[in-house]
A and B are shown apart, each in its own frame.
Chain A
Amino acid sequence: MNPPDSTSWLDSVGQRTLRSPAGFWSRVRFGRAALAATFRVPPAERATVRAAAAGQVWQSGIRQLPMVGVVGLALGILVIGQAVSLLQQVSAQKYMGTVMVMVILRELGPLLTAFLVAARPGTAVVVELGSLQFTGPAATVDRVRAFSLRQLVAPRVIGLAVAGFCLTIYLIAIALVSGYVMAFLHGVPLRVSDYAGQLADALHWLDFVLIVLKATLFGVVIAVVSCYHGLERMLRIEELPAATTRAVVEGLGACLLIDAVFLLGYLIR
């Protein structure tokens, strides 16, 4: 066994730096191809793709509902628990709806859902596609054919996009309801109609557009990144954990970047 080289980490940094632009453009090309394959499914293959997408929604959406429910419940309780104690000190309970909209609906709801999707269905996608590598049906990213993209990537992109959107809506709804329950248990003098009025006052029509776009886009990005890392190269079984970790980290990083871009939408509103 060779002794550890003292400059190996420097080599690693240098390699990553030199490879990063190429890796970035490789991901962009893959993403473009994946989206093209998703939107241009031939009629003969649509039934297959739809069935596969439904299965993906089942796996990535419906089966994640309990987890999303628990997270939404905890989120509502935590946010309202913190906000109530602060708002009551300054007699500003009327801003509870505003806090819920700003914190849960605009930011934490979509982001937490993206975390969950990246951590569970996203890693599953990496493992699935990585496993297909050594059983034969799939090819590496560089040699992947359009047919494989339509059969393997398109259903996952559709599935994760739909799952991400739906899970985000459910998580926000559960968090808003649990937040009210928490406020009620705290003894905040707030009727359901007043709470709903506060939420409606704090909302803007653009919120509904942006929430749909953001949640769907998060799902698409996580799907593309996960598929890319699953199909990146021939994976040995011991390489799967590292590949899933990279997929999760890159997927979440991309989601945060997209979230920052959406923040501009709120600012220029």
Chain B
Amino acid sequence: MNAPQLNSEEVKAQRAERWVGLFVVGAILLLVAGFGYHLYHTAQRKGWLLPQAPYFTLLQSAEGLNIGDPINMMGFNIGEITTITAEPPGSDSRVFIGFAIRQPYYGYIWSDSKVRVATSGLLGGRRLEVTPGVTGSATVYEQHNQIAELWVDNHRVAIAQAQKGVFLPPDEDATLSARAEKLLGQLEVALPNILAITNRLNRVLDQTNVLLTNSTALVINLNQTATQLAPVISNATVITGNLRDPHGSLGDWVLPVDLHTNLNTSLVTLTEGLNTTLLNLAAITGSLSSQVRSNDQMLTGISKLVIDTDNLVQGLKKHWLLRGSFPTPKPGTNAPPKSAR
């Protein structure tokens, strides 16, 4: 049985349908590929295919925080907020914040890690940042690349028994409104002191006013004094001018006109006196020289007299009458005295 023969119009229509199918399928494939890549990238970015460890912290306020907000550590996006609920009334902390941290970032989180609530942006937004552990113990324990146990209340607990996750203490910055409220409170407390300071300032200003009045009077008096001193200063100026000018009356009085002549005369007289003194000194020196020479001759005479006296004495020793008075000494020896032996 032969296949039915298609006419040229039908062949053309079939070809057109094929091209149209290709055209439509190509567009759909592009769209699906784009969507698939978007899903894959989002899954990677949000860690949908990775193990995630649950953590929680307790804050005073959830202001600026939303479910799905990223958690940061060391500049990386490591997880996201999963729960924000209010704590029961009367609790110490008011807001429960649960969040999930992806592998491998929970390896950096130890028992001494903290959740820092930092401000972000200009509009008072907040974000959570986890600080890496330094001295604590690990908070997550894995088996076969899956989370098996968590560090809860200083014990290792199976993850199934720790639904809330690991508690990380908060390090919460006050929100902008809380800070403003606190500032207002401080202002209210400080206001009485500020008023007291203002009162004191008022008193000081009053006193200053009096002081200024007195100062003004003083200045006026000083002005009058200065006015009165003006002629004195003028006279002093004139006197100074006269003192500077040697030909002035006072100059003449202090410095006589024939001062130079008198000085010359005195110097000549002094020089002459000095010359006379020098001549007298020379005469004295000459007299002393002749005196010394006379002394030399006198010493020679004395020496001769001593020699003659010695000769006289030697002669007297040898005289028979006086010989007994001068015994002859025994010849000397070098032998030591008997007492020394």
The finding on whether chains A and B are genuine partners in a shared complex, rather than unrelated, reads: yes
Among B12-20, B260-268, B299-307, the stretch that binds chain A is B12-20
With a CB–CB cut-off of 8 A, which chain A residues contact B13? Answer: 51, 54-55
A57 touches B35 (CB 8 A): no
Contact with A along B1-41 (1 / 0, CB 8 A): 00000000000010011011001101110110011011111
What is the distance, in angstroms, from A104's C-beta to the closest C-beta of chain B?
A: 13
Determine the distance from Cα of A58 to Cα of B14 in the docked complex, in whole angstroms: 12
Number of A interface residues in the complex (CB < 8 A): 23
With a CB–CB cut-off of 8 A, which chain A residues contact B34? Answer: 203, 208
Give 20 pairs: A residue, B residue, CB < 8 Å, sorted on A: A54-B13, A54-B17, A54-B20, A55-B16, A62-B20, A162-B20, A166-B27, A169-B27, A170-B27, A196-B41, A200-B37, A200-B40, A200-B41, A203-B34, A203-B38, A205-B35, A208-B31, A208-B34, A208-B35, A208-B38
Report the nearest B residue to A207, measured CB to CB: B38
What is the distance, in angstroms, from B23's C-beta to the closest C-beta of chain A?
A: 5
Main secondary structure of the interface of A (DSSP, over half): helix
Report the nearest A residue to B19, measured CB to CB: A62
What is the distance, in angstroms, from B202's C-beta to the closest C-beta of chain A?
A: 54
B323 is an interface residue with CB less than 8 A from chain A: no
Interface residues, chain B, CB within 8 Å of chain A?
Answer: 13, 16-17, 19-20, 23-24, 26-28, 30-31, 34-35, 37-42, 45
Determine the distance from Cα of A219 to Cα of B45 in the docked complex, in whole angstroms: 35
A212 is an interface residue with CB less than 8 A from chain B: yes
B16 touches A54 (CB 8 A): yes
With a CB–CB cut-off of 8 A, which chain A residues contact B30? Answer: 169-170, 173
Report the nearest B residue to A62, measured CB to CB: B23
A57 touches B23 (CB 8 A): yes
What is the distance, in angstroms, from A64's C-beta to the closest C-beta of chain B?
A: 10
Determine the distance from Cα of A196 to Cα of B37 in the docked complex, in whole angstroms: 9
Determine the distance from Cα of A61 to Cα of B38 in the docked complex, in whole angstroms: 27
What is the distance, in angstroms, from B35's C-beta to the closest C-beta of chain A?
A: 5
What is the distance, in angstroms, from A120's C-beta to the closest C-beta of chain B?
A: 16
A201 is an interface residue with CB less than 8 A from chain B: yes
B27 touches A200 (CB 8 A): no
Determine the distance from Cα of A208 to Cα of B39 in the docked complex, in whole angstroms: 11
A200 touches B42 (CB 8 A): yes
Interface residues, chain A, CB within 8 Å of chain B?
Answer: 51, 54-55, 57-58, 61-62, 65, 162, 165-166, 169-170, 173, 196-197, 200-201, 203, 205, 208, 211-212
Determine the distance from Cα of A181 to Cα of B219 in the docked complex, in whole angstroms: 85
With a CB–CB cut-off of 8 A, which chain B residues contact A196? Answer: 37, 41
With a CB–CB cut-off of 8 A, which chain B residues contact A57? Answer: 20, 23-24
With a CB–CB cut-off of 8 A, which chain A residues contact B41? Answer: 196-197, 200-201
Report the nearest B residue to A65, measured CB to CB: B23
What is the distance, in angstroms, from B27's C-beta to the closest C-beta of chain A?
A: 4
Report the nearest A residue to B37, measured CB to CB: A200
With a CB–CB cut-off of 8 A, which chain A residues contact B40? Answer: 200
With a CB–CB cut-off of 8 A, which chain B residues contact A169? Answer: 27-28, 30-31
Determine the distance from Cα of A203 to Cα of B13 in the docked complex, in whole angstroms: 39
Determine the distance from Cα of A58 to Cα of B23 in the docked complex, in whole angstroms: 9
With a CB–CB cut-off of 8 A, which chain A residues contact B19? Answer: 58, 62
Report the nearest A residue to B33, measured CB to CB: A173
Report the nearest B residue to A51, measured CB to CB: B13
With a CB–CB cut-off of 8 A, which chain A residues contact B35? Answer: 205, 208
Determine the distance from Cα of A62 to Cα of B23 in the docked complex, in whole angstroms: 7
Report the nearest B residue to A202, measured CB to CB: B38
With a CB–CB cut-off of 8 A, which chain B residues contact A211? Answer: 31
With a CB–CB cut-off of 8 A, which chain A residues contact B42? Answer: 200
With a CB–CB cut-off of 8 A, which chain B residues contact A61? Answer: 20, 23
Report the nearest A residue to B39, measured CB to CB: A205
With a CB–CB cut-off of 8 A, which chain B residues contact A55? Answer: 13, 16
With a CB–CB cut-off of 8 A, which chain B residues contact A62? Answer: 19-20, 23
Determine the distance from Cα of A144 to Cα of B277 in the docked complex, in whole angstroms: 165
Report the nearest B residue to A159, measured CB to CB: B20
Determine the distance from Cα of A84 to Cα of B45 in the docked complex, in whole angstroms: 25
B27 touches A205 (CB 8 A): no
Given contacts A170-B27, A170-B30, 12 further A-B contacts (CB under 8 A): A54-B13, A57-B23, A65-B23, A162-B24, A166-B26, A173-B30, A200-B40, A200-B41, A201-B45, A203-B38, A205-B39, A208-B35
Determine the distance from Cα of A58 to Cα of B18 in the docked complex, in whole angstroms: 10
Q: Sort A-B residue pairs by CB-CB distance and give the 5 closest, nearest first.
A: A200-B41, A166-B27, A169-B27, A57-B20, A54-B17
Q: A201-B45, A208-B38 are in contact. Are A166 and B23 (CB under 8 A)?
A: yes
With a CB–CB cut-off of 8 A, which chain A residues contact B45? Answer: 201
Q: CB < 8 Å: which of A54, A162, A205, A212 contacts B38?
A: A205
What is the distance, in angstroms, from B21's C-beta to the closest C-beta of chain A?
A: 9
Q: A54-B16, A62-B20 are in contact. Are A212 and B37 (CB under 8 A)?
A: no
Q: A54-B16, A54-B17, A55-B13 are in contact. Are A166 and B24 (CB under 8 A)?
A: yes
What is the distance, in angstroms, from B86's C-beta to the closest C-beta of chain A?
A: 27
What is the distance, in angstroms, from B320's C-beta to the closest C-beta of chain A?
A: 148
With a CB–CB cut-off of 8 A, which chain A residues contact B26? Answer: 166, 170
